[in-house]
Structures are given as C-alpha cells and as structure tokens.
Structure 1
Amino acid sequence: MTRRFKAVIFDFGGVFTTSPVENFAVYEKKQGLPDRFIGGVIRARLHDGAFARFERGEIGMEEFDALFAKETRAAGHEIRGREFARFLEVDFKPDMIAALSAVKGAGLKTGCITNNFPSIESDGSPRRAERSAQLQAIFKDFDHIIESSKVGVRKPEPRIYEMMLEALALPASDCIFL
C-alpha cells in the first residue's frame, strides 16, 4: 500500500535559501575569528541566549545587539548583534521555489516553519527591497507560515511543530517535514 501524504511542511532557512550557518564561517574568516566561534557561542546558550531570544521575538534589535556582544565578549571576541544580523543575508534557491509550486500543483497543503528575527530595518538599498519582494512572493505560496519571531516559539521546540499541525488541521502522520 502506498502512503499518500496530505501536506508538506518546509523549513525555510537552508531549504529555500542558502544556509545562514555558512555565513557564520565567512564572517568569522573576515573578522579573523576562530572557526566555529559563533556557532559555539549560540550553542552554549541554545535556548536562553541572545540568538534564541531574538528568534523568538522576545527581544528587539537594541537588546540583541547588546546581549550578543556580551555573550561573544565573554567567549573571547566581541561581536555586536546588529552587525552580525546584517551579515546573515542569504540567497534564494530557485529549484526549491519550483518544488513548492509542484507540491501545490499536486494538491498538497503546504506549511513553512522558520526560525527568524523580527524585521531588521531596511537600509534603503534596491537589493534589500528586491529581496523583501522575493520573500513575500515565496511566502504567499504557503498555506500556513509559522515564524518563530512572531509566535515566541522556535525549532526545535515541539510546540512550533504542534502549531503547524493545528494550522493545517492534520495529524503528523499525514505530513512530511523537509
């Protein structure tokens, strides 16, 4: 018997975009920091650190800027949160955008769960405006989107997955997560 799923739930970063984690290494090299320094700082306070709190929308940019600087300084190399957040820009993957269209075309429900930050102020650049328009165009193709910064829960917390299942009105057994 063939299993027929009713919905596909996508992660966003690293699936529809290049991995933001890859940017950590680029930033570290550019700044002369030790390899994996940033990831180590984030993992040290995975659930209660500045990065996690910013992704859950518990703090804004000003507080993230100061707290991330404090955490990185304590680990040996200060990085301002505002500077780091601006460096996290990623590129979209056209193949995944096409895959989303194919999934929708097959009649499946679609969901997106993403760990993200509250909106970072625009620098007024045409590239930033273009990227914002691209993001909105992708988001409109999902039936449901859950953004960590808007709901106060982030992956891998089970509640964010439960929220998506509730939004789709489906049991986990009817969904596949990519």
Structure 2
Amino acid sequence: MNDYKAIIWDFGGVITSSPFEAFNRYEVAQGLPENFIRTLNATNPDTNAWALFERSQISADEFDAAFRSEALDAGHDVPGRDVLALLAGDIRAEIVAVLDGLKARNYRLACITNNVKTSNDNAPNPGMARSAEKARRVSDVMARFELVIESSVEGIRKPDPAIYQLACDQLGLAANQCLFLDDLGVNLKPARDMGMGTVKVLNAAQAIADLAALLGHELP
C-alpha cells in the first residue's frame, strides 16, 4: 500500500457537480446537437478559445467572441458568455465531508483546477462562481486546501505535466506521495505517469469508495 501524504483534487466535476450536466441541459433548450459544447472544447484542445481562456491568454470578452466564432464555424450560434454562465456546479456536501475527514487524519490537501476568470477584472475565481453566495460557499471549501493551483493564474493547464510537477514542488513531496482525483481521464494520465495514485471520478459515491480503497481505511 502506498504511503500517501497529500490528496490533490480537481474542482469542477469532483468537488462540485459536473458542468457537463449544465451543458447538456443548455443544448436541449437551444436545440443543439448532444455534447456540442464538449465537442467544440475538445477540438484543437491546446489552442482553441477555451484553452486560451484557461491560461488567461484572452479576456472574458475576447473569449465570448472567440467561442462564438468557433461555434458558428461548427454550424451553431453559441456565445461564449452563455457557456460561462453554466460553469459553476453545486458543491457536493459528501465530498466536503471527506475533505474534513482527511484533514482530521493529517493528510495534506491541495487543488489543481483548470479555471477561467469570469470577468475582465483579472480576479482569481477558483470555483468559477457566478454569484456572491456561491462565491462564499466556494471560498469556504477552498479554505480547506493548503495549496490551490489555478490554470488562469499559472498560465498552464491540465493535462500539461508541468502543472502536476508544480503541485509536487510546492508541497515538497514526490509524485508517489500524492494521490490525484479528476473527472477526466486525459487529466489523470500525466499524473499517473509521474507516479501519482489516481482516481477517476464518475460520481461522489464511487469516488469516495475508490479513494478509501487506495488509502486503506474508511472515509466519512
């Protein structure tokens, strides 16, 4: 059994419900093809509007126009601002309870999130909250982490191996002392290749069970 010292978490789709659910509801309401937004985000994934925005290489207004242009090229009119409004999921209380349980067992907690600045004021927004109340709840969760690495702040994003190495360096730990949870397999592969333990999050109950199995003890 590995002797993990730190548990590193993705945010959206792990600590919160997946924005993909909101994407799908929007697509149905707008008469768009199923998974249109995800497909667009997966096209030219290192250079498209989404990638540039997550690295803070374009502003919110520029993203709005650039995403819309990409959508129009794919045959549908979807303003980028509409997508931004869908990003902030609901916090999963059972995952927050696990964070508290891990902290009580003296695990170190960190977060690596691909996020965007949802306004043009360059303010960090790790949970991409769209209201003051949601921002308060996100801030309460974020206070549990000793380290939060945001793509929009660092200018690098998952799955670039550099962002995982940055986390290890700042924690002062080797990769094999860290365990990483994410809802996207493409983001888990570089972490696993470095030597981290990994959990692919499909839902909260499964993630908690898989994490407990790797740690070798029960979780809240």
Same topology, TM > 0.5 = yes
Aligned position for 2:29:
30
SS in 2 for 1:8: strand
Aligned to 2:4: 5
Please tell me the residue identity of whatever aligns with 1:27: Y
Cα distance, 1:78 vs structure 2: 1.6
Distance 1:144 1:36 in 2: 33
Q: What is residue 87 of structure 1 aligned with on the other side?
A: 86
Higher relative contact order, structure no. (Cα contacts within 8 Å, ≥ 6 residues apart): 1
Aligned match for 1:160, one of 163, 171, 176:
163
CA RMSD of aligned residues (A): 1.3
Matches within 5 A, 1:145-156: 145-156=148-159
- Partner residue in 1 for 2:74: 75
Give the distance between the partners of 1:67 and 1:112, measured in 2 at CA. 28
Match for residue 104 of structure 2? 105
Letter in 2 for 1:58: Q
Q: CA deviation at 1:3?
A: 2.8
| AA in 2 matched with 1:38 | I
Q: Aligned letter for 1:139?
A: M
Name 2:64's counterpart in structure 1.
65
Separation in structure 1 between the aligned mates of residue 145 and residue 154 of structure 2, nearest angstrom: 17
Are the counterparts in 1 of residues 19 and 86 from structure 2 also a CA contact under 8 Å? no
Q: Which amino acid aligns with 1:165?
A: C
Partner Cα distance (1:30, 1:120) in 2: 25
Give the secondary structure class of the aligned counterpart of 1:38: helix
Matched positions, count: 172
Amino acid in the other structure paired with 2:98 = A
Letter in 2 for 1:93: R
Q: Is the 8 A contact 2:32 2:76 kept in 1?
A: yes
Q: How far off its partner does 1:41 sit?
A: 1.0
Task: Describe the shift of the 1:170–1:36 C-alpha distance in structure 2 as closer, same or farther (beyond 3 A).
Answer: same
Partner Cα distance (1:45, 1:157) in 2: 15
What amino acid is the match of 2:89? V
- Structure 2 CA distance, aligned partners of 1:175 and 1:84? 32
1:119 Cα offset (Å): 3.5
Q: How big is the shift at 1:57?
A: 1.2
Render the CA deviation track for 1:55-90: whole Å, top value 9, x for unaligned: 111111110011001000000002111122112231
Amino acid at match of 2:174: P
The one-letter code matched in structure 2 to 1:60 is: S
Q: Distance in 2 between matches of 1:161 and 1:139?
A: 18
2:111 partner letter: C
Aligned to 2:218: none
1:136 paired residue number: 139
Determine helix, strand or coil for the equivalent of 1:112.
strand
Q: Which amino acid aligns with 2:159?
A: P
Distance (whole Å) between structure 2 residues aligned to residue 114 and residue 3 of structure 1: 24
